Amino acid sequence: MNAITKKQYFALDIGTTKIVLLVATKNEYGKIQVLGYGQAPTRGMDCGTVVNGLEVSKAILEAVNQVRDKMGIDPKNVVISIIGKIRTEFRSNYIVRSNPKELVGAADMRQLEQQIAALNLSPGEQVLQIVPQWFKMSDGVKTKEAIGLVGERLEANYLAVIGNQADIENVCACVKRSDLVPTKTILQPIASAQAVLNEEEMEAGVALVDIGGGTTDIAIFKNGVLKSTAVIKLGGNHITKRIRELTGILPKEAEALKLQFGCAWPGALENSSSTYVMIGKYGNKEPDKKISTGRLAEIIYEASEEILTQVVNVLKAYGYQDPEKRLDAGIVLTGGGAQLKEIDLVMTYLSKIVNTRIGLPSAKVAGDTDDKLISPVYSTAIGLICTAIEEDEKEESLVNKESFKAMLESNLKKKFSVEKDQEDLPEESYTIPDDDDDFEDDEEQKKSGFKSTFINSINSIKTFFNKQSEEK
């Protein structure tokens, strides 16, 4: 078993309503094996922004202590989710390579990424993530992978995800105060996408809509790469608030009413006008109010429409009706708000995209995972684990590519060295055989030697790849 399958990963999902610390590893089947988790209600966050750092730190520490007490594990390095004020922009740049005959390697890629990230930003902004769109060598042909190519000029286009520096620093400060070390920050919808989308959907075109408590986060994929992200400052809490305002009940009661009896599409209910739910229990007092399930559905639909209309506006701004930007894989809803009954019908009605589904992280986790965790609520936490594992594997793959690159370059150098040595040999060192048979035998030996060298090179390449396969 590869060492990566034994490594423990820690993911910290910092949402507006809850904080989840997930502990997981990767099993021998390539699935995420959840080892345990801690969870606490969020305090001190508003729409993804820290408004009370001490309260956020306390909530994080509560989740950390649950992991310590239940699992006997002291988490340290964590991958964390980030939300707040974000924007995206496409950035292009290029490098001129000093030795164009050398194969493109990791150093070239790092140089490009550094140049992209260093481009001008507005005051108070920070690059959260850069996502490669394409690479182009001197021949002008676009490709998704540049490592292993040759050429003098290497050009690239990236999508830069840019966030508010203060928001990021405040979240990281809260994490550090909880005795954790944030090793990587991932935008929430990008993390959720890792948990609930597959490669075919990302290739065909798909919009991931993560409906959280305080925000609704959007990530659009096409041709296998991220094309756009957006954050809407309305989420499931907005629906709860509208229920509370129009019924006069407490926030906790409104949330329970939404989850237990709520439906976002009034037309899906039977006998909705004559079916009532008792509400308004204060302390030990029995409920003294009632509301029909039809009226409750109307309230929920109106609040959901406010949220999802803004989602449609984001899709329009992206240009999803353009034939080249079509979302052939549709829309995938996830997050706590995706648990609301028939919310996908509202999304379909407003967007006119029939292919809309609820995204669950079930495909990425092991079969024996707690059913509670196979829910849209935990998509971000599962996605953070997916991202952490993927980063490790990318690093390992990069090392393997660099090793293979070095082997190829070494073989090329040896070949050129042999050819040069043959060119430098003095003429008197060559002898012409007197016998024709001897001359033919000599030629056969040369051919045999070349054949042997060629076979040995092929075998060394096969051995390299077989070794990598065995390790994985």
Q: What is the pLDDT averaged over residues 309-327?
A: 95
**363-409 confidence digits (pLDDT tens):** 999 988 888 999 999 999 999 999 999 888 876 665 555 565 566 65
Confidence band (pLDDT; 50, 70, 90) for 411? low
Cα–Cα distance measured from residue 220 to residue 330, given in angstroms and rounded to the nearest whole number: 10
What is the bridge-based pairing of β-strands 153-164 and 9-14?
unpaired
Model confidence pTM above 0.85: no
pLDDT of 178 above 80: yes
Q: What is the largest CA-CA distance in the chain?
A: 118
274: pLDDT confidence band, cut at 50, 70 and 90? confident
pLDDT of 437 > 60? The answer is no
Q: What is the DSSP letter of 352?
A: -
Q: What is the DSSP-derived secondary structure letter of residue 226?
A: E
Is the pLDDT assigned to residue 464 strictly greater than 60?
Answer: no
186/431: higher pLDDT: 186
Which residues touch 294 (CB under 8 Å, ≥6 apart)?
266, 269, 272, 273, 275
Measured in whole angstroms, the distance separating CA 422 from the mean position of its chain's CA atoms is 53
For the cut 90, the answer to whether the pLDDT of residue 193 exceeds it is yes
pLDDT score recorded for residue 450? 46
Mean pLDDT, residues 445-468 taken together: 51
What pLDDT, in 10s, does the model give residues 275-296? 888 887 666 667 778 899 999 9
Structure tokens at 374: 């196979």
Tell me which range, 249-263, 385-399, 431-445, is most confidently predicted by mean pLDDT. 249-263
Coil, helix or strand for 378?
helix
Helix (H) or strand (E) holding 409: helix 379-424
**Least confidently predicted of 282-296, 297-311, 436-450:** 436-450
Average pLDDT across the chain, whole number:
85
Q: Among all chains, which residue has been given the structure tokens 């108070």?
A: 124
The burial of 446, by beta-carbon neighbours within 10 Å (0-12 exposed, 13-18 middle, 19 or more buried), is given as exposed
- The values of phi and psi at residue 128, to 5°, are -85, -40
What is the model's pLDDT at position 212?
Answer: 94
CA angle 56, 59, 60 (to 5 degrees): 85
Write down the pLDDT at residue 361: 94
> Rounded distance, CA 448 to CA 453, Å?
9
pLDDT for 433: 47
The pLDDT value given to residue 419: 54
pLDDT digits (tens, 9 = 90+) for 15-24: 989 999 999 9
DSSP string, 232-301: ES--HHHHHHHHHHHH---HHHHHHHHHHH-BS-GGG-SSTTT-EEEE---TTSPP-EEEEHHHHHHHHH
Q: Beta-strand (E) ranges in 66-165?
A: 77-82, 86-96, 125-136, 142-143, 153-164
Mean pLDDT of 151-173: 93
Query: ∠393-394-397 over CA atoms, to 5°?
Result: 85
Q: Which of 380, 219, 231 is nearest to 307 (CA)?
A: 231
Task: Answer left, alpha or beta for residue 117, where phi above 0 means left and psi between -120 and 50 means alpha.
Answer: alpha
pLDDT, tens digit, 9 for 90 and up, residues 24-71:
999 988 899 999 999 999 989 988 889 999 999 999 999 999 999 999
